[in-house]
Copies of this chain bind each other. A is one copy, B any other.
Amino acid sequence: MNDCIFCKIIKKEIPASVVYEDEEILAFDDIRPQAPVHTLIIPKIHLASLKEASPEQAALLGKILIQAREIARLKGIDATGYRVVLNTGPDSGQEVLHIHFHLLGGRRLGWPPG
């Protein structure tokens, strides 16, 4: 997608603080962090949200979750704990229409989750 900011980050047209990258996944720190650790994990394929995901993409989505766990380990919040958040649609506040998982940790996270 030409006008997608996350696709531009994937193509290195916009800088980002990259935490992890492989053929399918990119992870980078959120520019408006809500916790000491706040990293976004996205698929490189453009997918607007969970609503557009096909059942065939389940393995990719699950791989992102497994990678979130690995990033939590890298960031040193493996023992203290962390929250993974996936927003979909207006009520969730999803701003960028390229599916992204938020990994948050490094502080006590409240309940409800928003």
Residues of A within 8 A of B (CB): 34-35, 50-51, 53, 55, 57-63, 65-66, 68-69, 72, 77-94, 102, 104-114
Contacts and interface: CB of A to CB of B under 8 A. Distances in A.
A91 B79 CA distance: 9
Contacts of A83: 85-88, 91-92, 113-114
Secondary structure of the A contact surface, majority rule:
mixed
Contacts of A88: 69, 72, 81-84
A89 to B, nearest CB: 3
Contacts of A106: 91
A88 to B, nearest CB: 5
A102 B113 contact: yes
Contacts of A58: 59, 62-63, 65-66
A87 B63 CA distance: 17
